[in-house]
Structure 1
Amino acid sequence: MRRLLDSVLSDEAVTVLWRTASGRSCVDEAFDADGRTWLEQVAQACRERLAEIDPVCTPYLSPARTDLAETVLREVREATRTEAVEVRGVVRVLEDVVTTVDPDLGFRLLLEILFAYDVPVTDAQRVRYQALAEQLGYSADHLDDQLPRRPE
C-alpha cells in the first residue's frame, strides 16, 4: 500500500486501479472516494491499530523485487485478450505498477482484478500464475481454485 501511495502514478491512475480491483469500475455514488485518499485512510487506520497492539513495532518496507518484472509484464499484457472490458481498461495502469512501483504488487493486483470480474484462465495460465506466485513467496493455496477455468 505504501509503495502505491508514494508512487509516481497519477491520482487518476490510482483511483482507476482501486475501483477496478475492488469491483467498482463504475462510479458508485455510495463510494466515490479518490483512490489515493482512500488508501491513505486505510494506511492510517493500520498504523493506528498497529500502535495499539504493538507500540514498539516499526514497519519495514522491503525493497521491490524487480527480477520478475518481465515475467509479470507478460502476464499483465496477456490480460488484454480477456473479454472483460474492465480488465482490458486497466492493463496500462497495471503495466505502470509493474514497471514503476513493484512487480509483486502488479501481479497481486492483476490476480485481484481477475478474481473481481470472474475472468476464467486456461490451465496453462494457471500453471504460470502458480509458478510466479511461488517465486514471489505466496503460500501454496494462494491461487487454489480462485480463478475460474477456461478450456484451452
Structure 2
Amino acid sequence: MQVRDIPAVMSIQEESYAAEVHEDEAVILNRLAACPQLAWVAEDDQGVCAYLFAYHSRVGKVTPLDGDFESPAKADCLYLHDLAVSRRASGRGIGPALVQKNLEQARTQKLRYSALVSVQESEAFWSRLGYAAHTELEPPQASNLASYQIPAVYMVRALH
C-alpha cells in the first residue's frame, strides 16, 4: 500500500462497513505509517479493489476502534486489523489471498499466532481461514473490544 492508495481505501471502507466502525483518514494514514510492510492492497483493472492492515502484537491484546497500532517488544502474533474487499471484487478470493500473504510473512518472522476482531457477522469467513473465537480476555481488552459499538468477536489461530 502507498499513500496514493488511501482515497480508494477510504472508498472501500465506506461501502464495506457500518458507519459505527468507520475510521477516519488520519487514523488510516497512521496505520500505514506505523506498519507499511504489513499494509497491502489488491488491484484489478479498475484499480485498488481490496486492502488489509496488520501489525505485530501479542495474543489477547485487542486494538480498540481508532486505536494506534502498538507493537510490543516480544510480539508473538500477527494482528489483522482491517480487511475489506470492494463489492465489485467480492467472490474472487481476494480477501483470503491477502490474508494468506500476511500469514506467510508472519511465519517467516517466527510469529506463532494471528488474531483479529470479527465484525458484521464475518465470524464464519474467519473460521474457514482457521480462526476461532477467543473469549478469555482481560478486562481492559474486553473494554477495547466493546469500543467497536457493534457485535464483535476476538478470534485467534495458530500459525503452525
Normalised by the length of structure 2, the TM-score is: 0.30
Determine which structure has the larger helix proportion and give its number: 1
Greater fraction of residues in strand: 2
Larger radius of gyration between Structure 1 and Structure 2:
1
TM-score (norm 1): 0.32
